[in-house]
Amino acid sequence: MPGMANQNQHIHCIVNNCHYWSSGNRCVANEILVASDEFGMDQPDRIDATMAKQLSPTSVDDCMSTCCKTFVPRGSADVNADSIQRMS
């Protein structure tokens, strides 16, 4: 179905101190938001993937100018700052 996420999609992440990191270098967040570094620095943690449809797209010149806005340090109290859930 157009516009629907592929349920077999695999997001790989090697940041092992993220709350959503899982063995095999898998991201188990139910949603992620990849944004420009500038956006990531300017917006609070509560602005994340659940709000993606409301956000304006931006351009970057290379991958070094992007960040995963969904990152939350493992054990952080900020895990509930947005509505992102850890999938099993």
Q: What percent of the chain has pLDDT over 90?
A: 76
Alpha carbon distance 31, 82 (integer Å): 11
Q: What is the 3-state secondary structure (H, E, C) of 31-87?
A: CCCEEEHHHHHHCCCCCCHHHHHHCCCCCCCCHHHEEECCCCECCCHHHHCCCCCEC
pLDDT in tens, 12-52: 999 999 999 999 999 999 999 999 999 999 999 889 999 99
Alpha carbon distance 22, 86 (integer Å): 10
